[in-house]
Amino acid sequence: MLEMNTHEHYYAVMHFEPGVRTLLWEFGYWMATVERWYQEGLRRTSYSPPPGLPAGHALFGEALPFPMHLGLVNYRDIDIHNLLGFDEGAVGIPLNWRCLPPFKETILEEDETTRLMINSTGVTVRVRKAMDSLPQCLSWPVRDRTSWEQIKEERFTPDITARFPNPWEQLARTYRDLDYPLGVAMGGFFSIPRELLGFERQLTMYYDDPQLMHDINNHLANIWLAMLEEVVSKVNLDFVYIWEDIAFKNGPFISPRLFEGFITPYYQRVTGFLKTHGVDIIFVDTDGDCRLLIPGFLKAGVTGLYPFEVQAGMDVVEVRKRYPQLLIQGGLDKTKIAQGKQAIDAELEAKLPPLLLQGGYIPFCDHLVPPDVSWNNFCYYRERVKQYIECYQPQ
């Protein structure tokens, strides 16, 4: 067989083609982790990431589309990628799926360690300056129908021009005849309403004002479909990733019944459009235990999930047994890598042979690699993953 480029590899793996090794990819890293590794033997040969990023900043690996969102500052690792010989990563078309124009970031007050501010999505948050923990969210821009109508009129207008990078036409031409997978990472019909309303208000509004929740998602679907229509008219997409984070350790934030009523119809509009235009690699990015929602995601037209957080009970082997055609990325327990070679070997032996033989799987950690993982342990883990990939290919 002729050697494939990463684009061809990705397509083959995501369509369960036999005899094709999967990709050497990683999800990503916390900056505190990478700074530790620079002290333990990783050589700094690039300016990605630039020195001085906060410990809680995420550094993208190959599996996260890069760039991801227009207007957000992200960095993709180069040093680890080059040293360990990863395959080329997924490339994202940077689009804006959120409020546009964004809210002006405004600092309301600050002390030595924290800031109280309004962020670009209009949420009032208290954040640690070190970015070493999640922000404390205090208030949100949408409180009721009146505030939603104002946001809709001002920041979710039908004009999608500014939601694209400039110059879009020129950039679109550079995406043709690629040797790497190209796609978009968009917001979801649970995640973006959560940013607008706040978690508690969103969940109660499904009962208190269901028509408002339908109106929000219907309006988002109209805008997002217009954006996707423009994208597919200019470039050939390989994938679409949808960010949701719809679950936590003990299960989904909403029931399967609520999901089917408030989320599924809008997913089906998007996934139906994508599949009509030849895009059948559609992943949902969610943390937590989402097992109760997997049937709903499949009914909604989703074809894959990632990153399968093990500490939340997500077992990629068991999920694949139950849903044999579900595309899977991730699912390797990051806590085992910190424990050393024996724990790493046990984790990989339990999961990689069956999944690699079946195909439709790209192995990497179940989220960003944490700073308790040493450079030596990470290198050992990646070398062992590479060995398994070379030994086990879909039949």
Residue 61 has pLDDT above 90, yes or no: yes
Same domain, 289 and 155: yes
Residue 311 domain-assigned (yes or no): yes
Residue 298 domain-assigned (yes or no): yes
User: Shortest CA distance to 71 belongs to which of 37, 105, 27?
Assistant: 105
pLDDT in tens, 17-51: 999 999 999 999 999 999 999 999 999 998 777 88
Interior CA angle at 302 toward 288 and 210, to 5°? 75
In sequence order, the β-bridge partners of residue 263 are none
Same domain, 130 and 177: no
Same domain, 352 and 338: yes
Interior CA angle at 93 toward 90 and 94, to 5°? 120
**CB atoms < 10 A from the CB of 107, how many?**
9
pLDDT of residue 35: 94
Same domain, 73 and 91: yes
pTM for the whole structure: 0.96
Q: How confident is the model at residue 2 (pLDDT cuts 50, 70, 90)?
A: low
Same domain, 258 and 355: yes
Same domain, 259 and 148: yes
Same domain, 167 and 112: no
Residue 3 has pLDDT above 90, yes or no: no
pLDDT of residue 140: 98
Domain span holding position 25: 6-98+142-391
CA distance 353 to 284: 24
Residue 1 domain-assigned (yes or no): no
Q: How confident is the model at residue 1 (pLDDT cuts 50, 70, 90)?
A: very low
In sequence order, the β-bridge partners of residue 327 are 304
Percent of the chain having pLDDT more than 70?
A: 99
Same domain, 126 and 275: no
Residue 25 domain-assigned (yes or no): yes
Residue 218 domain-assigned (yes or no): yes
Same domain, 185 and 245: yes
Same domain, 131 and 187: no
Same domain, 313 and 208: yes
54 vs 326, residue with greater confidence: 326
Residue 242 domain-assigned (yes or no): yes
In this structure, what are the phi and psi dihedrals at residue 167, rounded to the nearest 5 degrees? -85, 120
Q: Distances in Å between the alpha carbon of 357 and those of 21, 66, 362, 389?
A: 9, 29, 12, 9
Mean pLDDT of 251-256: 98
Domain count, the chain: 2
Q: What is the mean pLDDT of the chain?
A: 96
Same domain, 280 and 320: yes
pLDDT in tens, 68-119: 888 778 899 999 999 999 999 999 999 999 999 999 999 999 999 999 999 9
User: Would strands 282-286 and 247-248 be described as parallel, antiparallel, or unpaired?
Assistant: unpaired
Residue 131 has pLDDT above 90, yes or no: no
Q: Last residue of some domain: 140, 162, 190?
A: 140
CA distance 226 to 216: 16
Residue 53 has pLDDT above 90, yes or no: no
Residue 260 domain-assigned (yes or no): yes
pLDDT in tens, 181-234: 999 999 999 999 999 999 999 999 999 999 999 999 999 999 999 999 999 999
Domain harbouring 379, CATH code: 3.20.20.210
DSSP for 259-322, written as a single string: HHHHTHHHHHHHHHHHHHTT---EEEEE-S--GGGHHHHHHTT--EEEE--GGGT--HHHHHHH
